[in-house]
Amino acid sequence: MFDVLVVGGGIVGSAVARECALEGWRVGVVGGGNLSGSATAAGMGHLVVMDDSPAQLALTAYSRSLWRGMAQRLPKTAEYDGCGTIWVAADEEELIEARAKCAVYEGMGIEARMLSSAELSEAEPHLRKRLAGGLIVPEDGVIYPPAAAQYFLGEAKRLGAEVVGLRAVSAAHGEVRLADGSVLTAERIVLAVGTDCTLLPSLPIQGRKGHLVITDRYPGVVRHQLVELGYLKSAHKLTEDSVAFNVQPRPTGQLMIGSSRQYGGTSAEIEPAMLRRMLDRTMEYMPGLGQLSGLRAWTGFRAATPDKLPLIGQAAGLSEDESLWLAVGFEGLGITNAPGAARLLVDGMKGRTGAIDATPYLAARMCRQVGVVYA
């Protein structure tokens, strides 16, 4: 008998397990220790404050502050680097967007500053010349997601959590049935299952495919995570395939190049045409990158909800089962949001008021928004 069983050991499940273990609860993690096929193994690891909506801004800002607070305790393997983000404005229209974004951040007490065209060029000499300017958010960072997930799971284990390597075939009414037929029981079950909706088919989640490329080592070529402001437009598109310039400097000197977004389809195969589009876009902003050698390309799936906010808290609204809790639907922000989501979830279980309002992330909103009925 556990107090909490977490199903899924990606970065979100691992962060939830750690947070529950910190409460002194008996915790089990089903499917822990195996990241193959997970978004955590495929993700880019940009820790970023985003302002698509007030709820997204609140959760990313809260989570980023938690990452910064634990930066000193993270193992070296997690490769935390507070390199900051530069949002690159290609033209006057995007510069106006950057200024608006800057004002929003400043209003939230988040450090952000506009860069002129010359300052942008000085900060990132390999960007093409005559870009309009940029917005620097110095406290954003990057991390190596699988190692960060391992750290959370290791901490949970140190605090007494048990990791069960098997998959769950059902999870309901306080019982998790494992692939070998055995059954574990718990007061609460947390589904942290990424894009896999088999345990709760009413989860309104779709996989959104992304391609990434990692290069050989070229230290200093890129100094900040660089993202075109047009990224915001492409990330908003809910049906069309899109690409955006998004390059990350790894502490190893390698560059990680993104990003693409595609709906529909479940094949993880690399699509040469999409990869080509993504790299062409990269070279529009950094022509010199065409001279560097890429080592590997891969794909992953982001778990997208209809309103682009995660589902954190009790499953009420999608299920009448009071033992079920959710930590899913993080789309392209699950690495950033894992620590904040874990804390909000545990605050909800304890009936505590958290650091931010948890209401926008509750599954109950889905009944109103998309007419999803009980499973």
Q: How far apart are CA 110 and CA 105, in angstroms?
A: 5
Q: How far apart are CA 325 and CA 170, in angstroms?
A: 14
Distance of closest approach, residue 323 Cβ to ligand FAD, in angstroms: 16
Among 194, 204, 339, 340, binds ligand FAD (CB under 6 A): 194
Distance of closest approach, residue 246 Cβ to ligand FAD, in angstroms: 8
Q: Shortest CA distance to 315 belongs to which of 370, 353, 352, 361?
A: 361
What's the token pair of residue 141?
A: 């960072």
Q: How far apart are CA 195 and CA 203, in angstroms?
A: 9
Q: How far apart are CA 280 and CA 295, in angstroms?
A: 17
Build a one-symbol-per-residue string for 35-64: x at contacts with ligand FAD by CB under 6 A, - elsewhere: x-xxxx-xxxxx------------------
Q: How big is the site for ligand FAD, counted in residues (CB under 6 A)?
A: 37
**Span near ligand FAD by CB under 6 A; candidates 28-36, 153-161, 350-358, 363-371:** 28-36
Among 28, 31, 134, 230, binds ligand FAD (CB under 6 A): 31
Among 25, 80, 330, 361, binds ligand FAD (CB under 6 A): 330
**Span near ligand FAD by CB under 6 A; candidates 33-41, 87-95, 113-121, 349-357:** 33-41
Distance of closest approach, residue 130 Cβ to ligand FAD, in angstroms: 28
Q: How far apart are CA 315 and CA 363, in angstroms?
A: 6
What's the token pair of residue 154?
A: 């290791």
Q: Which residue's CB is nearer to ligand FAD, number 176 or number 286? A: 176
Q: Which residue's CB is nearer to ligand FAD, number 38 or number 206? A: 38
Distance of closest approach, residue 68 Cβ to ligand FAD, in angstroms: 14
**Span near ligand FAD by CB under 6 A; candidates 6-14, 71-79, 115-123, 236-244:** 6-14
Q: Which residue's CB is nearer to ligand FAD, number 260 or number 314? A: 260
**Span near ligand FAD by CB under 6 A; candidates 5-13, 109-117, 182-190, 264-272:** 5-13
Q: Shortest CA distance to 3 belongs to which of 149, 155, 156, 150?
A: 156
Among 212, 247, 289, 318, binds ligand FAD (CB under 6 A): 212
Instruction: Give me the DSSP letters along 126-185.
Output: TSPS---EEEEETT-EE--HHHHHHHHHHHHHHTT-EEE-SPEEEEETTEEEETTS-EEE
CA distances from 202 to 37, 234, 320, 373 (A): 22, 27, 11, 8
Q: How far apart are CA 231 and CA 276, in angstroms?
A: 17
CA dihedral 54, 260, 331, 78 (to 10 degrees): -100
Distance of closest approach, residue 320 Cβ to ligand FAD, in angstroms: 20
Build a one-symbol-per-residue string for 217-256: x at contacts with ligand FAD by CB under 6 A, - elsewhere: ----------------------------------------
Residues 93-152 that bind ligand FAD (CB under 6 A): none
DSSP type of residue 81: B
- Residue 168 lies near ligand FAD (rule: CB under 6 A): yes
Distance of closest approach, residue 307 Cβ to ligand FAD, in angstroms: 16
Q: Are strands 242-249 and 113-115 parallel, antiparallel or unpaired?
A: unpaired
Compute φ and ψ for 325, nearest 5 degrees. Answer: -125, 155
Residues binding ligand FAD (CB under 6 A) = 7-13, 30-31, 35, 37-40, 42-46, 167-168, 192-194, 196, 199, 210, 212, 300-302, 330, 332-336
